[in-house]
Amino acid sequence: MTGRRQRAEQAMVPDAEFTSYYGRPVVKKPVWKWDIAAYFFTGGLMAGSSLLAAGADLTGNRRLRRAGRLSAAASLGASTFFLIHDLGRPGRFANMLRVLKPTSPMSVGSWILAGYGPAAGFAAASEVSGRAARLGRAAGFVAGAMAPPIASYTAVLAADTAVPAWHDAYRQLPFLFVGSAAAASGGLAMVLVPPGDAAPVRRLALFGAAADLAAAASMERSIGLSAEPYREGTAGTLSRWARRLTAAGALGATMSRRSRPVAVASGLALLGGSMCTRFAVFHAGLQSAADPKYTVIPQRRRIDAGRPIQAG
């Protein structure tokens, strides 16, 4: 009551900073469960891995190709599971391909996956069986070609919502996501292939880590109030760990040319860092939806500044 009365009173104070209806959320919290955050991670992993596999194939790096194709297939499996498992009506997952809607990142994503999945799967199968090597090669290149969009569309998936922490970050999220994908897949490969074969892996990992950290920093600076959730609560803790692990992993990567243990350790750090990044983003979204201030304050400011959004 008291709380509400204060709000009610504020309501009449002309330049009140923030009013809400009993402190209840304005936008609905995503009903997505943890497995969507996990999919962000595995999706990035498979994308990066397919790229590594394709690159390795072209540069005749057999070990890396094998590792790449297999990790891609593995994370593809995991991704498919997470995606279907999160549906309210898993039995109807096929409806995803009922239409193609450019306005729906999820629809677009489904179609990309529908193309990527078989390719990555086939490449892995031929890798294991050793049969249909040529077709397997082609499939590997197709998968590699589709990998970058796979790594970045999930950012749009999140940003194309009314969730303040996601929507307001739509400029940075794609870079954060591809960076995270590169770092993760690099990290995984560092664990799987001996340092001798892993030079490109280390470079990709470093590139990824750099992109990840840069994007995160730029977000922090430029999305205003919506950056707050990334600093607070679960999301805050996860972001901090993401930064620590990614940085550590990157540092380790530069020193892992000769030492397998160091390579494995830094690889794991990068994987962990990427995982934390994805869950941090996920939770920041939930937190920003749960508290009406993230929705109301920026919009109120726009109006008070006489600059409400215009259609078009």
Partner 1 sequence: MKAFPDSSVFDPLDPATESGHLDAPPRVGFFTDTSLCIGCKACEVACNEWNEVPGGDRRLLGSSYDNTGALGANAWRHVVFIEQRVTTEGPSEPVEPAFPSLSGTDGGGGGIDFRWLMSSDVCKHCTHAACLDVCPTGSLFRTKFGTVVVQDDICNGCGYCIPACPYGVIDQREGDGRAWKCTLCYDRLEADLEPACAKACPTDSIQFGELDDLRARAAARVEHLHDAGIGQALLYGEDPEDGVGGSAAFFLLLDRPEVYGLPPDPVVTTRDLPAMWRRAGAAAATMAVGTVIAFLGHRR
Partner 2 sequence: MAECHPVGFQWVMEAKARGARVIHVDPRFTRTSALADTYVPLRAGTDIVFLGAIVSYILENGLDFRDYVVAYTNASHLVSEDFVDTEDLDGLFSGFDPESCTYDPSSWRYAGTAARSRSSGPGGTDGADGAPHEEGSHGPPLGDGDPERDPTLRHPRCVYQVLKRHFARYTPELVEAVCGTPKDVFLEVCRAWTSSSGRDRTTALVYSVGWTQHSVGVQYIRAGSIIQLLLGNMGRPGGGVLALRGHASIQGSTDIPTLFDLLPGYLPMPDAKDHLDLTAYVDSIVGPRQKGFWAGADTYMVSLLKAYWGDAAQPENDFCFDHLPRVTGDHGTYQQVLDMIDGKISGYFLLGQNPAVGSAHGKAQRLGMANLDWVVVRDLFEIESATFWRDGPEIQTGEISASTCRTEVFFLPAASHVEKEGTFTQTQRLLQWREKAVEPEGDCRSELWFSFHLGRRVREKLARSTDDRDRPILDLTWDYPTEGVTAEPRADAVLAEINGFDLSTGAPLSSFLDMRADGTTSGGCWIYTGVYAGGVNQAARRRPGSEQDWVAAEWGWAWPLNRRILYNRASADPEGRPWSDRKAYVWWDQAAGEWTGHDVVDFERTKAPGYRPPPGSRGPLAIAGDDPFVMQADGKGWLFAPSGLVDGPLPAHYEPAESLVANPLYGQDANPARQRFPRSDNPHQPSGAQSGSGVFPYVFTTSRLTEHHTAGGMSRYVGRLADLQPELFIEISPGLASERGLSHLDWAHLVTARSAVEARVLVTDRLRPLRLGERVVHQLCIPYHWGTGGITTGDAANDLVGITLDPNVHIQESKVGTCDLRAGRRPSGQALLTYLEDYRRRAGIDPATGLPTAANEGIGT
Kindly identify the residues of this chain, within the stretch 2-61, that bind partner 2 according to CB under 8 A. Answer: 2, 5
Q: Which of 216, 79, 70, 46 is nearest to 148 (CA)?
A: 46
Determine the interface stretch with partner 1 among 70-78, 84-92, 114-122, 226-234 (rule: CB under 8 A).
Answer: 84-92
8 vs 133, which CB is nearer to partner 1?
Answer: 8
By CB under 8 A, residue 167 contacts partner 1: yes
How far is the C-alpha of 122 from the C-alpha of 133, rounded, in Å?
Answer: 10
Considering only residues 103, 130, 261, 306, which one is a binding residue for partner 1 as defined by CB under 8 A? 103
Q: Which of 196, 149, 182, 143 is nearest to 41 (CA)?
A: 182
Q: What angle do CA 281, 283, 285 make, to 5 degrees?
A: 70
Q: How far is CA 276 from the centre of its chain?
A: 10
Amino acid at 134: R
CB of 4 to partner 2, least distance (A): 8
63 vs 240, which CB is nearer to partner 1?
Answer: 63
By CB under 8 A, residue 311 contacts partner 2: no
Considering only residues 101, 131, 221, 257, which one is a binding residue for partner 1 as defined by CB under 8 A? 101
Here the tokens at position 245 are: 């692990």
| Residue 115 C-beta-side C-alpha neighbours within 13 Å | 15
**Binding partner selected for residue 276 from partner 2, partner 1, none, CB under the kind-specific 5 to 8 Å limit:** none
By CB under 8 A, residue 171 contacts partner 1: yes
Q: Are 212 and 173 in contact (CB under 8 A)?
A: no
Kindly identify the residues of this chain, within the stretch 270-299, that bind partner 1 according to CB under 8 A. Answer: 285, 289, 292, 295-296, 299
Considering only residues 118, 195, 200, 236, which one is a binding residue for partner 1 as defined by CB under 8 A? 200
